[in-house]
Structures are given as C-alpha cells and as structure tokens.
Amino acid sequence: MSNLRTRSAIIVGAGIGGLTAATALRQAGVDVTLCEKAPQHRAAGFGLAVQSNAMNALRTLDLGLDEALVRAGGPVTTFSFRRSDGSELRRIDVTPVDATLGAPSVVLARKDIHEILLASAGPDLRVVTGAEAIRFTESADGVALDLADGRRLEADVLIGADGINSTIRAQLHGAADPRPGGFVCWLALASFRPPSLADGESVHFWGRGLRFGLHDCGHGMVYWWAAQSCAPALAANWPHGKSDLLRRFADWGPEISEIISATDESDIIAVPALDRPPLAAWGSGRVTLLGDAAHPMLPSLGQGANSAIEDAVVLAHALSTHANPQAALRAYEQQRVPRTTELVNGSWSLGRIEQGTSRTVAATRERLVRHAPDSKISDFISKPMTWPGFGDIDGALPRRLSALESWHWAADRIAPLHVCARVSLDGRIDTDAIQAALNALVRQHPQLRAGIRRAGTGWVFVPTAARSIPLRLVDSGSWLDEIDRELDDGFDADGPLLRATLIKVGADSHELVLTSTYAVADGITMVTLCRQLLALAYDGRPDEWRPETPAPLAPEQLMPKGFRGARGKLRALGRMVADATGGRGGPPLRRLPSEQAVAPTERRTRLVHRTIGADLSRDLLAECDARGIKPEAAIATALAEAAAIDSECARATFAVSVSVPFRSHLARPPAADTTGSYQAMVAVPVACGPGLSLWESALAFDSRLRTGVEQRHHLANLGLLGVMAAATRPFTNQVVTMFDDRGPGNLCVSLVDTCDFPARFGAVTASGVQVVSGMSISGYVMLYGTVGRDGLALNLGFVDGIISPARAGTLLENTAGALVDALDSAARDLPERLGRFEFEGQL
C-alpha cells in the first residue's frame, strides 16, 4: 500500500553511491536489489579520497565502515602546494581540521572501497549483473524497471545511481550531453612511493593549465593524477599515451617522472572532466537519483564520491523516518539539492582557477596560497568536508555554541554546572541491557557524543565517533549521595556529555541517575532521555540500528526575529538592569547572605531533598489552579518566605528567578525528543512577611511572572550571555562578584511535570522521577520541583560553604512548611507538620 513504509528498493548502478545506498538501506531494513550494467562487478583501478564528511556520514550506519576504510588506506595528515619545479609554496597540517570535523580523510584504492561496502551490505545482497536499465514504470503501489534482456524488477522505490549518463535521469529529465569542463584527467595507482612523499601527505603541483597530484594511500601505494586544459573534443578522446605524459612533465619535479615511469601504461586511465548544471529537483513519485546521476561535478573539490556517500546515507535516513515512500524521497531531495548545488557550482568555479592558463591567474593563485591566513585556508578546506547531517544544515556539527550554550559551558568549566534526573526502578534489572541502551542513545543523539573544543574566544561542538556512555554501578547507598558526587564530577570536554549511575538498593530495586551538562540538556531534556533510555532497554532492541536524531539548532537561531542581533542585545541590556534593581522605584531587594567566601573554582553543589506526598501535592496543585496561579509562583513565594526567616527579616522583598521553558516560544520549536537546553530565567520580586499570606504574595508574583513571560523577558535575557561567557574566563572573579552582589541567581526555582512518564517499561516499574540542578557560579540555591504521580519532589541544590548543609535543610523545611501551611492554616508545630512529608535522605 502507498501509505506503508518502504520495504523494497531497486538501485541502478553499483558504483560507490549505489553500494553505499545498498548498505545503508539494508541497515534500515529495506530489501535491496542492486543492478549493475556490466557483466561483472568490478571497480576502476585508481584511487580516491574519502573525506571527513563521508566518514562522518558512514559512521551513522554503525557498521564500522570508517574504521575499515582507515585500515585499508592512508589517513591524510598534510597538504602541500608546490610549483611545477617542486619548490614548496605552502605546507598545511590538516590534523587540526580533522579534529574539528570529527573524522580523518583517507586515501585508498577504489577497489578497496567497493569491497568494504559490498561486504558491509551483507553476503545475501541481491546483485543483478548484466542488468542494463531501459525504462521504469510507476503504479499506485510500486515501480517496475525493465531491463534490456527482457527481465522486469519491481519494488517500492527506484534509485538511479547509474552515473553521469544515467538512463533513469534521462527518463525523468530528458537526454542531454554533459557539460565539458575543459580539461582531461589522468588517474592511476602505483606501488611506487617517491622518497619526497611523506607519510600521510597529499601534494598538488601547479603550473599554467597543467597540474599533478600525489597522495599517499598507505601500504606502499600512491594514488596519482594529472590534469591538462584542452578542447572538449580532445579531452573526450585523448589519443596519447604514457610517453606523452612523460614529455609534458619532463621539466617538473623529478618525483613526477619517477612515478609515471613506475606505472604500467595499462593502469593509467584518461577521462574528460565533465559535469552537469544543477537540477532544481531530482525525481518524482517513487523514483529519485543519487550521486553522479543527480549532480555530477568536476573533481576540483574532491566531492564527487563523497557527496554520493552523503546522498546514500541521507536517503536511507529519510526512508526510515517517513511512512510514505514518496514523501521520503522528496524530503531526501529537499535536503540534498542545496548542498550538492553548492558543491557543483563550487567545483566549477575552482576548476576555472586551478586550470587557468594565463600568467595573471597563475600569479594570483600562487599569492593566495602563500599569503592567505591559516584560518582562511582552514575554512576553505573545511567547508565542503563538513558533514551536514540529517536536519537543518545550521545545526550540523561542528557548530559554534550559542550564547546560552556558551554561558552554561563557561560556568561549567569554572565550577561544575550539571543537571541530573533520577528514576526508581523495581523489577529485574539487566545491566547489559542498560549499557546497550546507553550506547544506542549516544548513537542516536550527535550532541551527546560531541566534544566541545575551544575556538578563539568561544567554543565549538565537534562531532566524534560514537563511544559508550559510562555506566557506574553502585552496590548500595543513597541516590542523594550519588547525586552529590555527580554534581561535583566534571565532564571531559572530549565527551560523551552524558553519563549514568545505577544504584542497587534492594534485590529487585534500583535507582537510575542520568547526568549531563546544561550546555546540551535542561531538566525536561533529561527526563526525555530517561524515557528514551528505558524504552530502549526494556521495550525495544537496543543493539538494533536506528536512524539518528538530527543535531538541534542553537536556541538563538530559533528565536523570534526581535530577539536576535543588535535589537536583542539592547533588550538584554534593559532586562539585566531591571533584574538587578527589581524595577524602577521598587523597594530594595534583599539577598540571601553567604556564610563564607568560596572561590569561584571551588564552588560545588550539594543537595537536600523533601517530597510532599501525593495527596498534599494534588491539593496544592488544585489550589493553584483554582486561584489561577502557576505552581512555580507558589513554590517561589514559599522559598522567599523561607529566605526571610533565614535572614531574620520581619518583612522583605526578595528577587526569585524562575526558569521558564521556552521551546514553544520559539519561531521554530525543536522536536520534543531532541537534546538541547531550552530554559531561561525571569527574575521576579516577591514581598513577604507578617500580614502577607503566601497566596496574596504568590498572586502578585504570578502576575509579574506571566507578564514577563508574555513579554518574553527570558528570551531577552539571552542576548548578552555570549558576552558574559567570553568575559567570564579572563575576569572570573569580577564576574562572579557581580553575580554575588547583584545577579538574579541568588534564589532560583524551576519546575518540571513528569506525570506522563510511563509507569512501566517491560516488566520494570518506574517511579519517583525527579530532576536536580547544580548552581556553579551564578547563584546560591536552585530549588527544582518535580511534579509526578508520587507527589511533589523538592530538590534544593546549594553552593556548599556559601550555604551550610544544615542551613540549606532549614531553608527547604521552611519552604515546604510554607506550602503546607498555605493549604491548611490550622496551627501545627514543626514536628507534626514534617510528619506529613515522605522524608528521604539526610540534612
């Protein structure tokens, strides 16, 4: 049926694009028939560079293809540009580029790539040789391909990967000759290595209209190529042989003549440089194109085969994430057409420069290579080699951290700023299944396995190969103690940026704690990751391949227009002043005093915990609802009352910062199941003291909070965070002093609702879902409330030393007591009141 997921595919063409598509589609569970026009499957005998973008794309298939390619070939470590006489123009170490892009580039024999891909597709891949495609015919439920020998093949979709002269393309778009590039190329592999060619080196020799390249393939092999500008007709039918090549390069660096001489003439292939102008759309219905059939390009950027690999992986992802085959193919094309159009046009433009015959072009080219800043050269190399991923290209890794992400990471580097989620599990726990699910989770979310690398004054998310998320097993103990440890233990900048702790508290009773950094997750995200993890471990098959969730865009890229750019920064400045002063003409704001000075780098979060039982929690939420008050307003007011008692103030006004989830406030809300931190603070003053009931104060607080949210004060506050992040590292003490004296983070409250968290995963019961937050350098206490079926959990994270554990415990007792007293004003002494709490942990 046309509304069912794709079950079968015909791929026409068994080149690198077709083989990668067969491998990727089979990994996605699609039955594949691979058609090859030749009587036998055989690769051409020359080399190829598989660049970082293709390596990262292949990693998403979780088949170890990137590792197999590295073993078969030679990773590129150095790029050298030389004049025709062999004198060096510039040598570039490309290992930093590889580190930023997250994968190496590898040069190897084309036949080795074919063999690796064919083996990864599985021994039972259906390969039909001697299969010359004639035409295709579509129906409501599928597509049929007619072959020249009379055979007919049928499937749900048809993929034309049959090269620059594609039969499938001709039927879709009409037959037309390719566009000549104006030069001929020679390609060869040689088992001779010139002494001047270093390990991992790729060398380009440049003359006027004539070029030569050498690439170390490892294992004693060298891939070499040459290019000569000439008339298109001559390029298409090059009449000369090896002796002519030797003559043309006789006056060039001696290694060139040496390697040409060492290569059998039959192993030197001469081909014309050809491409086609980009298409606006590739396919229709159940048919699409891939690789050179869709976007043939000149070799200047080295992206022909690499972009075909990208195509294949994105195609498999689209077919596995869209129920309708036609919709999947159009989504694939929509993502790939802009990327490949840029590559086709970029290769054409660069080819004009590389193959230029005039002295002016050659001199300009040489000046650029010799004198361009390293950053410009790196950017030029990196752009085509950046894997664009499966989502919006602006979210693809590597990407710079946004202002919000940068602030969180800057704070985390000084003192840990972590967020934890805890779930109680009852039933038989299989630690191997939990670990497998963790590994599946990190494969699914690029941000979790990313590293964070310093770049100038900021940071960059850098893609990495999937690695195991650490699972720490604790035989006995308290989850509260383990969270104290998690809040104190910093993350390695190389990732992964998630870890797990499993605490055994009984024969069939465990506590699961997930920990991450606010740079990639907020409380809501952490609860979502817990749900995904347990579903993978108990309701799914964690070792089974799953399509990757696209890396999210930076939060600021999704914000409404008025909150970006210069206008957004002006708004942020105004909000920062207002938050610090409590508003013009308002009463002076009290602050929770510190007990002792603690250096910024020594600040660590500890936790005290209380849970208001389910009955009281329901009553509290119902009362808030009846009064039209947000629960976080009542909790924030109760915390302010506790702060007033702590400060021995008869009457005072405190500012409490409330964390506002803003996913739904963005111009393009991110998917619910993605990673990312989408919470920001709004500081609201609250008056408390004799004669003011909690509900009266909470009503005023709620009104101000709603106004702030409606006016998007929390989004405005993000505008200067990038500046703060950049200033924090060199001026840590000054920035932290400012926060301590005037910052809005002195008292903080956040709330998350987990009532819809599943109660069971397989045979395991889940309960007690809670979120805990660290504080780092921007404040003193963070009270995280978690509403669940078990009640209202109140987790107070506090900076140890600035606040003592005993004092934090009293703050939390008085906060919880204020909420209970607001429900029932009958006089109770403290022991009776605390008797209505479900007590966990120690103070």
Q: What is the mean pLDDT of residues 439-460?
A: 92
Report the percentage of the chain scoring pLDDT > 90.
79
Residue 181 CA neighbour count, 13 Å, CB half = 32
Lowest mean pLDDT among 223-232, 386-395, 740-749, 755-764: 740-749
Mean of pLDDT over the chain: 91
pLDDT for the residue numbered 3: 42
Domains of the chain: 8-382 (3.50.50.60), 398-538 (3.30.559.10)
Highest average pLDDT, of 174-183, 534-543, 548-557, 585-594, comes from: 174-183
Q: What is the mean pLDDT of residues 400-426?
A: 94
DSSP secondary structure code for residue 286 in this structure: T
Please report which confidence band the pLDDT of residue 232 belongs to, taking 50, 70 and 90 as the band edges.
Answer: very high
Q: Give the residue with greater pLDDT, 201 vs 830.
A: 201
Tokens of 606: 């500890």
Q: Give the residue with greater pLDDT, 832 vs 317.
A: 317
pLDDT above 90: residue 45: no
| Cis status, amide bond into 560, omega within 30 of 0 | no
Instruction: Output phi, psi for 718, to 5 deg.
Output: -75, -20
Q: Give the residue with greater pLDDT, 838 vs 316.
A: 316
Q: How far apart are CA 388 and CA 56, in angstroms?
A: 9
Please report which confidence band the pLDDT of residue 839 belongs to, taking 50, 70 and 90 as the band edges.
Answer: very low
Lowest mean pLDDT among 174-183, 413-422, 559-568, 742-751: 559-568
pLDDT for the residue numbered 106: 98
Q: How far apart are CA 168 and CA 146, in angstroms?
A: 11
The pLDDT tens digits for 246-256 are 999 999 999 99
Q: Give the residue with greater pLDDT, 426 vs 829.
A: 426
Lowest mean pLDDT among 259-268, 352-361, 736-745, 774-783: 736-745
Q: How far apart are CA 465 and CA 49, in angstroms?
A: 19
The pLDDT tens digits for 76-105 are 999 999 999 999 999 999 999 999 999 999
pLDDT above 60: residue 832: no
pLDDT above 50: residue 584: no
Which residue type, as a one-letter code, is found at position 3?
N
* C-alpha torsion 396→398→402→404, nearest 10: 100
* Burial state string for 751-775 with b = 16 or more CB within 10 A and e = fewer than 16: bbebeebeeebeebebebbbbbbbb
